[in-house]
């Protein structure tokens, strides 16, 4: 860059020339271009909130954009003293700076959220998209919010009133799972058994079925004997053997098979209907087929006494202890129950701290197995290999949150550590309360959206949607609302697509719906938007002047001026280089050449558009010839 002004030779001038030079601008803009590609990728794969927190709102990106503003300002300063031809150049650079400031103003000061209103509902509090962690506690006998702070993917240590948290991770989706621990206050016997090799985690079964036949698992009726109690195989075999291995009615200790419809099952009672189910589901009207994913064989029989009394009996193969008998009509009572087929049984009991398993076959045959070695313990039983993974005597079921893959309905969580308990990570699930213990007492953490008071109240009077013919897909939807503004009264209006309600910088858009009577509104206030619009308009004006402004611009570097334009340059202010070729022995005429250029700093002399080269030719005989040529 040519330093044509005296102040360019000062230390301040040299600094401005460097900051406004293309040598600095090109690498900075190249780096920013790569960062913008990265931010766009994050926005497309994760979300706009993540991209804003990780890239666009980071201190280093703000610093880079600040450097761009310095470069733009320095590029304008180096042209001082400014002339009329610098108008387009200055407008372009000022507009770019305006766009940058407007973008960051919107990034940090924009308020954006949503209102979800049922018909007849009203609200003046906006649910923000910004995520926050709040701390709740009891103060003076009242449960209230003690404080909250915004949170993002880049958050670190958070101080909220008397609680200090350290954010250590985020889960895109979360689910609850049941975990069995051995820290219960009361004794409770539970065993984790693998019935199927394809399910390595097995199944948990605990005591509580000792008064019944047991719980159906893996083709067995499983029973867990409480700790401290014993199991008598002989009594079990005697009580469970017998029967024909099929459904049967039991009356006064006798078993009666289920006959065909219309036949008598026992004295005075005949079969009115018989229905068998493979995937039984219980309803108030009786059994019906449920989901094929759940195998639940069952039989339903309706008995009649011939005098107006009807009884419905149900029995389940997997749950022989679940016996259902309900009167349908009449006052009679058969006193019978429908019994499920006999099945293999497994009985687990604790003997001197080790497991003993008793297998009762369908025909009453008994087999006993005593634990050998430590758990896990595998043994052959009923022609199959079973494995016991865990054996607990103070079992307690608790639920915990774990990370889950993304799904249609996601429940994000933030993972935190509480100051004073750094070894434990606590997942805070979206909109769920999580109690913690602190030296000041019990506190409740809540991770969810922030709220913002609106200067108006919006009430949904009526919501309507129009579907595409023959489908349930909405073609259009709109809401009739009543807006109440303090000091201005109420206004009734309609909000629909591309027709928002606007008030004092706030815009309320119709963005969605739930069902036929719930409307979803997007609400936004962006103070940086006018500045962004002004920057865009200024940029268009500056670009137009730069390329087509005539006297308001000196063109653009690298773009030739119109061929017909010839700018006269005062010889007193022009830089001239004269190369004289003296007369000599060599061939050719004597030539005097003068390169005259504009004194605009910021252009190399030979690259300036409209540069005119004059050659003064003096032939051997005759007057001096002047030849002018316009360089592109």
Confidence of residue 154 (pLDDT cuts 50, 70, 90): low
What are the tens digits of pLDDT across the range 407-429?
877 888 889 888 877 678 889 99
Neighbours of 164 (CB within 10 A): 14
Has residue 577 got a pLDDT over 80? no
Do 609 and 559 form a contact (C-beta atoms < 8 A)?
yes
DSSP state of 86: G
What are the tens digits of pLDDT across the range 354-388?
899 998 887 778 889 999 889 999 998 877 889 99
Q: Rounded mean pLDDT of 333-343?
A: 84
Confidence of residue 235 (pLDDT cuts 50, 70, 90): very low
Q: Give the H or E element holding residue 543.
A: helix 529-548
Q: Give the H or E element holding residue 238.
A: helix 233-240
Predicted local confidence at residue 554, as pLDDT: 61
Q: In sequence order, what are the beta bridge partners of 477?
A: 465
d(CA 299, CA 83): 99
Confidence of residue 585 (pLDDT cuts 50, 70, 90): very low
What are the tens digits of pLDDT across the range 313-329?
998 877 766 778 889 99
Q: Rounded mean pLDDT of 89-96?
A: 90
Predicted local confidence at residue 607, as pLDDT: 40
3-class SS string, 125-142? EEEEEEEEEEEEEEECCE
Predicted local confidence at residue 238, as pLDDT: 38
Has residue 574 got a pLDDT over 50? no
Predicted local confidence at residue 53, as pLDDT: 77
What are the tens digits of pLDDT across the range 198-225?
788 888 888 875 444 456 676 687 889 8
Residue 38 makes CB contacts below 8 A (sequence gap 6+) with: 55
Has residue 253 got a pLDDT over 90? no
Has residue 448 got a pLDDT over 90? no
Predicted local confidence at residue 357, as pLDDT: 92
Q: Rounded mean pLDDT of 479-491?
A: 90
Predicted local confidence at residue 269, as pLDDT: 93
DSSP state of 632: -
DSSP state of 225: P
Residue 404 dihedral angles phi and psi, to the nearest 5°: -130, 155
Q: Rounded mean pLDDT of 221-244?
A: 65
Neighbours of 423 (CB within 10 A): 5
Q: In sequence order, what are the beta bridge partners of 492?
A: 482
Do 284 and 172 form a contact (C-beta atoms < 8 A)?
no
DSSP state of 246: S
Do 236 and 368 form a contact (C-beta atoms < 8 A)?
no
Predicted local confidence at residue 85, as pLDDT: 82
Predicted local confidence at residue 624, as pLDDT: 47
Q: Rounded mean pLDDT of 457-476?
A: 86
**Burial degree of 501 (CB within 10 A; 0-12, 13-18, 19+):** buried
Of residues 614 and 388, the one with the higher pLDDT is 388
Confidence of residue 534 (pLDDT cuts 50, 70, 90): very high
What are the tens digits of pLDDT across the range 537-553?
999 998 888 887 766 76
**Burial degree of 109 (CB within 10 A; 0-12, 13-18, 19+):** exposed
Sheet with 377-381: strands ordered across: 203-206, 190-194, 384-392, 377-381
DSSP state of 394: B
Predicted local confidence at residue 600, as pLDDT: 45
Of residues 609 and 56, the one with the higher pLDDT is 56
Predicted local confidence at residue 215, as pLDDT: 65
The first and second tokens of residue 249, run together, are: 């009615």
Predicted local confidence at residue 193, as pLDDT: 92
The first and second tokens of residue 182, run together, are: 């051995």
Predicted local confidence at residue 486, as pLDDT: 83
Q: Rounded mean pLDDT of 118-142?
A: 85
Has residue 435 got a pLDDT over 80? yes
d(CA 70, CA 62): 12
Confidence of residue 628 (pLDDT cuts 50, 70, 90): very low
Distances (CA, A) of 171 to 402, 403, 422: 9, 6, 19
Picking from 5-19, 471-485, 573-587, which range would have the lowest pLDDT averaged per residue?
Answer: 573-587
Predicted local confidence at residue 242, as pLDDT: 41
Predicted local confidence at residue 35, as pLDDT: 93
What are the tens digits of pLDDT across the range 22-37?
889 899 999 999 999 9
d(CA 147, CA 135): 6
Predicted local confidence at residue 630, as pLDDT: 40
Predicted local confidence at residue 603, as pLDDT: 42
Choose among 34, 15, 8, 7: nearest CA to 73: 15
DSSP state of 56: I
What are the tens digits of pLDDT across the range 505-531?
899 999 888 888 899 999 999 888 889
> What secondary structure does DSSP assign to 63-82, as a single string?
HHHHHHHHHHHHHHHTTPSP
* Length in residues, the chain: 632
| Average pLDDT score over the chain | 80
Q: Give the H or E element holding residue 108.
A: helix 87-109
Rg (CA), the chain: 43
Of residues 129 and 570, the one with the higher pLDDT is 129
Q: In sequence order, what are the beta bridge partners of 304?
A: 270, 310
**Burial degree of 541 (CB within 10 A; 0-12, 13-18, 19+):** middle
Neighbours of 2 (CB within 10 A): 16
Has residue 99 got a pLDDT over 50? yes
DSSP state of 89: H
Confidence of residue 311 (pLDDT cuts 50, 70, 90): very high
Predicted local confidence at residue 381, as pLDDT: 86
Percent of the residues in the chain that have a pLDDT greater than 90, as a whole number? 23
Q: Which residues of 613-624 are buried (b: 16+ CB within 10 A; e: fewer)?
A: eeeeeeeeeeee
Picking from 246-255, 459-468, 560-569, which range would have the lowest pLDDT averaged per residue?
Answer: 560-569
Has residue 576 got a pLDDT over 60? no
Give the 3-state secondary structure of residue 552.
helix
């Amino acid at each position: 860059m040519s330093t044509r002004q005296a102040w360019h030779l000062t230390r301040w001038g040299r600094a401005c020339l460097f900051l406004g030079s293309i040598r600095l601008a090109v690498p900075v803009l190249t780096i920013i271009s790569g960062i913008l590609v990265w931010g766009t990728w994050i926005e497309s794969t994760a979300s706009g909130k993540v991209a804003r927190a990780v890239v666009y709102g980071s201190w280093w990106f703000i610093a880079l954009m600040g450097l761009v503003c310095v470069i733009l300002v320095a590029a304008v300063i180096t042209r001082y003293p400014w002339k009329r031809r610098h108008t387009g150049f200055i407008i372009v650079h000022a507009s770019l700076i305006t766009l940058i400031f407007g973008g960051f103003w919107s990034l940090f000061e924009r308020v954006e959220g949503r209102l979800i209103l049922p018909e007849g509902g009203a609200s003046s509090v906006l649910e923000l998209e910004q995520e926050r962690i709040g701390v709740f506690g009891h103060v003076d006998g009242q449960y209230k919010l003690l404080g909250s702070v915004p949170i993002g993917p880049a958050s670190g240590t958070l101080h909220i009133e008397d609680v200090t948290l350290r954010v250590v991770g985020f889960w895109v989706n979360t689910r609850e799972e049941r975990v069995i621990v051995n820290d219960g206050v009361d004794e409770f016997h539970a065993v984790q058994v693998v019935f199927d090799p394809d399910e390595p985690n097995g199944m948990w079964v605990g005591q509580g079925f000792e008064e019944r036949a047991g719980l159906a698992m893996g083709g067995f009726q499983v029973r867990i004997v409480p700790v401290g109690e014993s199991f008598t195989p002989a009594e079990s075999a005697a009580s469970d053997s017998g029967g024909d291995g099929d459904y049967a009615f039991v009356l006064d200790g006798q078993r009666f098979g289920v006959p065909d419809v219309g036949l008598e099952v026992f004295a005075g009672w005949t079969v009115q209907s018989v229905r068998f189910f493979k995937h039984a589901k219980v309803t108030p009207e009786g059994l019906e087929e449920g989901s094929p994913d759940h195998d639940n064989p069952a039989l339903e029989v309706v008995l009649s006494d011939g005098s107006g009394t009807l009884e419905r009996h149900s029995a389940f193969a997997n749950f022989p202890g679940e016996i259902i008998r309900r009167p349908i009509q009449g006052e009679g009572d058969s006193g019978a129950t429908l019994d499920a087929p006999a099945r293999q049984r497994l009985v687990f009991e604790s003997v001197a701290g080790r497991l003993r398993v008793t297998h009762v076959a369908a025909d009453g045959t008994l087999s006993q197995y005593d634990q050998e070695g430590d758990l896990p313990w595998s043994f052959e039983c009923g022609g199959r290999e079973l494995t016991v993974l865990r054996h607990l005597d103070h079992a307690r079921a608790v639920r915990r949150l774990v990370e889950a893959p993304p799904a249609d309905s996601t429940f994000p969580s933030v993972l935190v550590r509480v100051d004073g308990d750094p070894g434990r990570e606590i997942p805070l699930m979206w909109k769920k309360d999580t109690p913690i213990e602190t030296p000041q007492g019990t506190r409740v953490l809540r991770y969810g959206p922030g709220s913002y008071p609106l200067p108006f109240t919006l009430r949904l009077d009526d919501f309507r949607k129009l579907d595409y013919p023959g489908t349930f897909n909405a073609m259009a939807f709109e809401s009739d609302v009543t807006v109440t503004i303090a000091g201005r009264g109420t206004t009734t209006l309609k909000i629909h697509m591309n027709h928002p309600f606007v008030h004092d910088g706030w815009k309320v858009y119709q963005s969605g719906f739930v069902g036929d009577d719930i409307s979803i509104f997007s609400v936004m206030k962006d103070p940086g938007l006018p500045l962004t619009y002004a920057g865009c308009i200024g940029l268009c004006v500056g670009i137009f002047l730069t390329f087509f402004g005539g006297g308001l611009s000196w063109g653009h570097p690298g773009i030739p001026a119109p061929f017909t334009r010839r700018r006269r340059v005062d010889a007193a202010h022009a830089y001239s280089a004269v190369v004289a070729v003296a007369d000599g022995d060599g061939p050719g005429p004597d030539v005097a050449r003068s390169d005259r250029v504009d004194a605009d700093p910021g252009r190399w002399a030979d690259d300036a558009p409209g540069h005119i080269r004059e050659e003064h030719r003096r032939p051997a005989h005759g007057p001096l010839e002047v030849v002018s040529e316009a360089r592109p």
